[in-house]
Amino acid sequence: MTTQEPFDAYSLSEEHEAVREAVRAVCDAKVAPNAAEADETGEFPKASYEALRAADFHAPHIPEQYGGAGADALATAIVIEEVARACASSSLIPAVNKLGTMPLILAGSEELKSRFLPPVARGEAMFSYCLSEPEAGSDAVSMTTRAVRDGDHYVLDGVKRWITNAGESRFYTVFAVTEPGARSRGISAFVVDKDDPGVSFGAPEKKLGIKGSPTREVYLDGVRIPADRMIGEPGTGFATAMRTLDHTRVTIAAQAVGIAQGALDFAAKYVQERTQFGKPVGDFQGIQFMIADMAMKLEAARQLTYAAAGKSERGDADLTFFGAAAKCFASDAAMEITTDAVQLLGGYGYTRDFPVERMMRDAKITQIYEGTNQVQRIVMARSILR
C-alpha cells in the first residue's frame, strides 16, 4: 500500500490544545489549592467557581448567541477533564451546567433559551438536573412527581433526590408526570427557579467523595409555574432526558479521565522521589509495570472519551453507544488507576496528607451517577443487539 502523505495519527487541533493549556493554568493556580479544603469542609468551593467564571470555563458549552463561549463538545470535555484533574468537586460546575441546560438546548423554545441560558453564560446562575427520585433511580420512568395543568400554569408536587449542586444552582430542569399511566410518554420537562414559591431543599448528603459539590433533595410543594416553562411538547420530557444523557455521559467520562490523570501525575512523581533499599521506588520493575498499566488504561479511556465527544458534537446515530461506552470504560479505569495510586504511595496514600485518597473517593461516583455502569452495559448491549 502506498500513500502520497505520511500517515497522520490522531491529534487534537491547536485550538483544543490551547484550551487545555488555558484551563490547566487557571486550575493549577486557583482551583487545585482549594480542593483539599472543599473536601475537608464539604463546602461549595466558591473561590474555584469565581476563578472558572472569570476565565469563562464555568459553562463553556453555551452557544455564542446566548452569550456563551460556544465551545464544542470536545473542548467542553477538555475543560471538565482539566478541572477534574485539579478538583473533582469543581469539575461539576461546568459538567452540571451542561447537564441542566442540555434539555433546553436540545428541545427548548427560543424564548426559553433566550431567557435562561444567558444568566448561566454570564456566571450569574447555575443550572441543575432533576430526574432521580427516592423510588425512581435507574427506573426513572417510575417517577411520581406530578405536574398538573391549571389554566395557563402547571402545579408541581414531588421530591427529587441526588440533585448535584442543589441549593447552589438557581435553575433546575425538572421532569414530572403530566399524563399518569402513559409511562415514558406521560413525562414532561420544566424549568424551575429556586425562588419559585414552594421550592425547598433537604440537608446536604454526607458522601464518600465530591464533598465540595452539594447533593440535596429538591422539594416541590405546590410549585406553580407558567405553562411556557415547559421544555418541548407535553409528553416528550423522558425522551429529552435520555437524549441529554447521551451527550452528558461524555462529560462524566471526561471527569473520570481528569481524576485519573491527577492521580497518575502525583503517583509518578512520588515514586521517582521516594527511596527504599537505596534507590527510587520507581526503579523497581513491579512499580514500573503498575505505572505502565495505569497510563495505558488512562490513554485508552481518553481516546474513547474524545471519540464520543466528536460524536456528541455531530449528533451521530451511534452516540448512545459511544456515550455509554466512554462513561463506563473511563469511570472503571479511573477507579482502578486511583486505587493503584493509593497503593503506590503505601501508607502515605491512605492519609489525607496526600491527594490520592481523595481522588480515589471522588472516582467512585463516576461509576454510579448519570446511570450506573451496569445500566451503561445494558445501554450498550441494546444498541448492538437491536
The per-residue pLDDT for range 305-337, each reduced to its tens digit, is: 999 999 999 999 999 999 999 999 999 999 999
pLDDT value, residue 173: 98
Query: What does the pLDDT average to over 85-104?
Result: 98
pLDDT value, residue 261: 98
Cell digits for 258? 481528569
- Give the model's confidence band at 10: pLDDT under 50 very low, under 70 low, under 90 confident, else very high: low
Residue 197: phi, psi to the nearest 5? -55, 135
Please list the residues that pair with 173 across neighbouring strands.
129, 191
Please list the residues that pair with 158 across neighbouring strands.
220
Decide whether 14-121 matches 127-236 in CATH topology: no
pLDDT at residue 6 is higher than 50 = no
What is the DSSP code string of 129-141? EE--BTTBSS-GG
Closest CA to 364 of 373, 355, 354, 377: 373
Active site residue: 81, 217, 357, 370, which one? 370
DSSP 8-state class, residue 281: G
What is the DSSP code string of 13-32? -HHHHHHHHHHHHHHHHHTH
Architecture of domain 127-236: Beta Barrel (2.40)
pLDDT at residue 3 is higher than 70 = no
Q: What is the tens place of the pLDDT at every residue in 175-208?
A: 999 999 999 999 999 999 999 999 999 999 999 9
Catalytic (active site) residue 370: yes
CATH fold of the domain at 239-385: Butyryl-CoA Dehydrogenase, subunit A; domain 3 (1.20.140)
Cell digits for 172? 433546575
pLDDT value, residue 75: 97
CATH fold of the domain at 14-121: Butyryl-Coa Dehydrogenase, subunit A; domain 1 (1.10.540)
pLDDT at residue 120 is higher than 70 = yes
pLDDT value, residue 11: 83
Question: What is the spatial distance between Cα 18 and Cα 76, in angstroms, rounded to a whole number?
Answer: 13
Cell digits for 296? 495505558
Percent of the chain with pLDDT over 70: 97
Domain map of the chain by residue range? 14-121, 127-236, 239-385
- Give the model's confidence band at 244: pLDDT under 50 very low, under 70 low, under 90 confident, else very high: very high
